[in-house]
Amino acid sequence: MSLWSALWPSDHVVQSLLEYLEKFDRDDDGLTWSTPKLWHITLGYYGKDDSVTRMRWLRERLADQAAPTVCFEGAGTFPQVLWVKVFGDCLAKLAEAARPARNDYDYRAHMTLARCQEGIPPHWLDRLADYRSEPWLASEVLLMRTDNTPEGKIETVLDRIPLKTAASMGNKTT
């Protein structure tokens, strides 16, 4: 069991990325593609932690955080991982609030698309270089639990934490 927090892209954005990827043969490089319904932007990883305590902690940390407007643009790689770049106003501040104190890594907003034991073929960076999603408002953070079972990983939403939007702050736009 492990706990983590994340933003989920809108259904519309997931669909646009799937349509973009349809232009390419995704079976030709030994990549293992992530399941689109599980695509997410990780904010914080908590490992084996008490879920009730973490839920309270995260709600307190995110109480005054603004909902970022987020978009995908281009791609990047880590060793054995292909991902799309994520950009958003106040995204770094949100990730900092969700990150536990023991993590001292630099946050790099991304969404994992695929993995490959032999490394990511470089042409995937070229293929995704022109991809741009429509922006969307990430209005909530999800606290997730992953359980490893003999049938595979099971991911469960433990909590949905709303973020501040213009509407929730009483501002009306015309």
What pTM does this model have?
Answer: 0.88
Burial of 123 (C-beta count, 10 Å sphere; 0-12/13-18/19+): exposed
pLDDT of 170 reads 59
DSSP secondary structure letter of residue 93: H
Q: Are 147 and 153 in contact (CB under 8 A)?
A: yes
Q: Are 140 and 97 in contact (CB under 8 A)?
A: no
Least Cα distance to 61 among 154, 173, 141 occurs for 141
- The per-residue pLDDT for range 71-129, each reduced to its tens digit, is 999 999 999 999 999 999 889 999 999 998 766 667 889 999 999 988 899 999 999 99
- φ, ψ of residue 102 to 5 degrees: the values are -75, -10
The number of angstroms, rounded, from the C-alpha of 80 to the middle of its chain's C-alpha atoms is: 18
**Cα atoms found within 13 Å of the Cα of residue 72, Cβ hemisphere only:** 30
CATH topology (fold) of 2-162: Cyclic Phosphodiesterase; Chain: A, (3.90.1140)
Burial of 36 (C-beta count, 10 Å sphere; 0-12/13-18/19+): middle
pLDDT of 30 reads 87
- CA distances to 24, 32, 34, 41 from 28, rounded to whole Å, are 9, 11, 16, 26
- The per-residue pLDDT for range 125-158, each reduced to its tens digit, is 999 999 999 999 999 999 999 988 898 888 999 9
- The per-residue pLDDT for range 22-34, each reduced to its tens digit, is 999 888 788 999 9
